[in-house]
């Protein structure tokens, strides 16, 4: 049968059509119908210009085709090209090529409609985005892969299979807008939030946050910081130090030894596909000569169980945890291959940069100044909106503008506005006004590039001692500990003090091995130095928080 032949050769005939076939039956049928309409209009009216262009901001295109795997790629394979605000089928394009792709789609569509080739119902379409215990929003059906990342990334979640020839960086960004705006709705599922809350030691984190807020207020009595601000910091620290683990190479499933990634992908099995792991890394053990699987899960429910991954998994799971605790949160996508979270602080009336994989809050210049990234597009997604937040993360706006060549600014702006208009249609008037006011505040922030001082990574570094204390930029209290020799030490004329960096305590050997817990409790003065536990690297170290602009490190002990 013709349909059966397509199933065995669609990859070579059309990568885009093969990709389109990976969608659920309902999604495929709806998208294919629209694709055939576009193609047939041109074939029937080859000289009519109005059928040769598709406005990208058009609701039908932006909601029914753009989020669908392979759909836009099919248009490019037909011969469409990307213009400023439209996809154009130029006069030089081959009508025969358009007819070929159109026929491949029609064959597959007909086979599904009449049921003559049931094998084409791809396994992905038979598997839910989550387990039966947690039903995720139906809107996720068109995005079984989870949040979109930069194509070909290595740190975040895996990208989709290679796109068809002709797919541009601009179309990638447009698809990211649609896919991620849909994905963040997963975090709003109440059952999933309950599952996340069951993993979080909420009361313990609240206790710690209240204690630190109390101490910070002693230093800055006029602070407007709230319990929620400090709770966010405790959540970040807990997530990094106690809950999630970074993965480079996994342990061998047989001997437990180290493996090395072979840079190849394995075919995902049914269970891995169920949880959105469209890519499975192959990690090889030389000793056992055995491959171990590392599925790159995109479903945050599964990540609550696996508790490991790279920046994509970290941001995905942490954003869910933020929503579970009631924080307004955004999932932030960076075109240069990183993802993180933003959380809104009502007390500070602004969005805070939060990178769970770094245990960092409100240091938006970390990537450009600290890591040396060449930023171009940074987009933030929440249940209510998508915002281009690139300017928050840069102090070199002119350089960023020179790199923003992947998509026309007018098209990006128009697409974002249209998506936000659709997303906010069901919101109350008061909520829309609130979002508008926040956007105005953000725009004011964006048009004023930061000029960081040596040692700064952006954020709010002035006016609030309490906030700097909370983020670890200043010591909570300056104890100025002075060691006064005991009678025994006077007699022996010796004061012997040892510090155990692992146990984080001093042993005063010359005074009957007295224990003093906490390294800061034995220090007279300190500047720009902190103790940090690096569980990912199995080490503990003293370090300067900002390494690019090295400030003088000062650490003093004092004896009278």
Q: What's the token pair of residue 72?
A: 């836009």
Task: Give dist(CA 180, CA 195) in Å, integer.
Answer: 22
Task: Give dist(CA 222, CA 211) in Å, integer.
Answer: 17
Listed residue (88, 295, 301, 105) closest to 189, CA to CA = 301
Sheet holding 360-361, edge to edge: 360-361, 350-355, 338-345, 329-334, 378-381, 386-388
Task: Give dist(CA 147, CA 311) in Å, integer.
Answer: 12
Q: Using the CB atoms, write b or e for 377-416: b if 16+ within 10 Å.
A: bbbbbbbbbbbbbbbbbbbbeeebeeebeebbeebbebbb
Q: How far is CA 375 from the centre of its chain?
A: 15
* Catalytic position from the list 21, 74, 311, 354: 311
Decide the pairing of beta strands 360-361 and 53-55. Answer: unpaired
Task: Give dist(CA 381, CA 341) in Å, integer.
Answer: 9
* Catalytic position from the list 86, 150, 183, 338: 338
Q: Using the CB atoms, write b or e for 71-88: b if 16+ within 10 Å.
A: bbbbbbbbbbebbeebbb
Task: Give dist(CA 19, CA 67) in Å, integer.
Answer: 13
Q: Which residues does residue 351 pair with via DSSP β-bridges, in sequence order?
A: 344
526 phi and psi angles, rounded to 5 deg: -150, 150
Q: Tell me which DSSP letter residue 553 carries.
A: P
Q: What's the token pair of residue 325?
A: 């605790």
Token pair 């999932």 in the structure block, residue:
331
* Catalytic position from the list 229, 334, 355, 362: 355
Query: What single string gives the DSSP state of each residue in 397-466?
Result: HHHHHHH--SS-HHHHHHHHHHHHHHHTTTS-HHHHHHHHHHHHHHHHHHTS---PPTT--SS--SS-HH
338 is an active site residue: yes
Burial class (CB in 10 A: 0-12, 13-18, 19+), 119: exposed
Q: Which residues does residue 542 pair with via DSSP β-bridges, in sequence order?
A: 531
Size of the chain in residues: 560
Q: Tell me the residue ranges of DSSP E strands in 451-513.
A: 482-483, 497-500, 505-508
Task: Give dist(CA 434, CA 445) in Å, integer.
Answer: 17
496 is an active site residue: no
Token pair 């998208």 in the structure block, residue:
31
Question: Which positions are annotated as active-site residues?
Answer: 311, 338, 355
């Amino acid at each position: 049968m013709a349909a059966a032949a397509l199933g065995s050769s669609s990859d070579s005939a059309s990568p885009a059509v093969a990709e389109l076939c990976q969608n659920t039956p309902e999604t495929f049928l709806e998208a294919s119908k629209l694709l055939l309409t576009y193609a047939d209009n041109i074939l029937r009216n080859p000289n009519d210009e109005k059928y040769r262009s598709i406005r990208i901001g058009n609701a039908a295109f932006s909601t029914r085709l753009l989020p669908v795997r392979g759909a836009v790629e099919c248009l490019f394979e037909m011969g469409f090209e990307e213009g400023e605000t439209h996809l154009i089928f130029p006069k030089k394009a081959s009508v025969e090529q358009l007819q070929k792709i159109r026929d491949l789609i029609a064959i597959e569509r007909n086979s599904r409609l009449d049921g003559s080739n049931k094998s084409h119902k791809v396994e992905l379409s038979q598997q839910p985005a989550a387990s039966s215990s947690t039903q995720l929003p139906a809107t996720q059906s068109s995005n079984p892969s989870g949040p979109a990342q930069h194509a070909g990334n290595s740190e975040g979640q895996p990208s989709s299979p290679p796109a068809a020839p002709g797919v541009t960086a601009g179309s990638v960004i447009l698809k990211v807008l649609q896919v991620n705006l849909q994905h963040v709705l997963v975090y709003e599922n109440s059952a999933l939030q309950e599952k996340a809350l069951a993993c979080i030691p909420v009361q313990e984190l609240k206790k710690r946050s209240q204690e630190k807020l109390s101490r910070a207020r002693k230093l800055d009595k006029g602070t407007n910081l709230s319990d929620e601000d400090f709770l966010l910091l405790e959540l970040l620290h807990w997530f990094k130090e106690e809950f999630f683990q970074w993965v480079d190479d996994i342990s061998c499933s047989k001997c437990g030894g180290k493996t090395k990634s072979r840079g190849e992908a394995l075919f995902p099995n049914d269970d891995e596909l169920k949880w959105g792991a469209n890519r499975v890394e192959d990690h090889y053990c030389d000793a056992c000569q055995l491959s171990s699987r590392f599925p790159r899960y995109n479903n945050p429910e599964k990540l609550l169980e696996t508790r490991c991954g790279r920046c994509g998994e970290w941001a995905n799971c942490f954003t869910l945890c933020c929503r579970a605790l009631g924080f307004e949160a955004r999932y932030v996508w960076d075109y240069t291959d990183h993802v993180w979270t933003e959380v809104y602080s009502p007390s500070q009336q602004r969005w805070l940069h939060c990178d769970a994989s770094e245990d960092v809050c409100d240091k938006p210049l970390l990537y450009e100044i600290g890591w040396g990234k060449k930023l171009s597009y940074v987009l933030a997604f929440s249940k209510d909106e998508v915002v281009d937040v690139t300017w928050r993360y840069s102090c070199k706006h002119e350089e960023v503008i020179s790199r923003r060549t992947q998509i026309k600014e007018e098209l990006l702006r128009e697409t974002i506005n249209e998506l936000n208009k659709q997303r906010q249609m069901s919101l109350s008037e008061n909520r829309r006004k609130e979002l508008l006011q926040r956007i105005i505040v953000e725009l004011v922030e964006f048009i004023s590039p930061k000029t960081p001082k040596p040692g700064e990574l952006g954020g709010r570094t002035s006016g609030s001692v309490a906030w700097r204390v909370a983020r670890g930029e200043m010591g909570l209290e300056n104890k100025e500990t002075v060691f006064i020799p005991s009678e025994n030490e006077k007699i022996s004329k010796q004061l012997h003090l040892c510090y155990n960096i692992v146990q984080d305590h001093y042993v005063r050997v010359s005074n009957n091995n007295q224990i003093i817990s906490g390294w800061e409790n034995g220090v007279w003065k300190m500047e720009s130095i902190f103790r940090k536990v690096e569980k990912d690297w199995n080490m503990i170290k003293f370090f300067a928080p900002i390494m690019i602009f090295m400030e003088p490190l000062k650490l003093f002990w004092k004896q009278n």
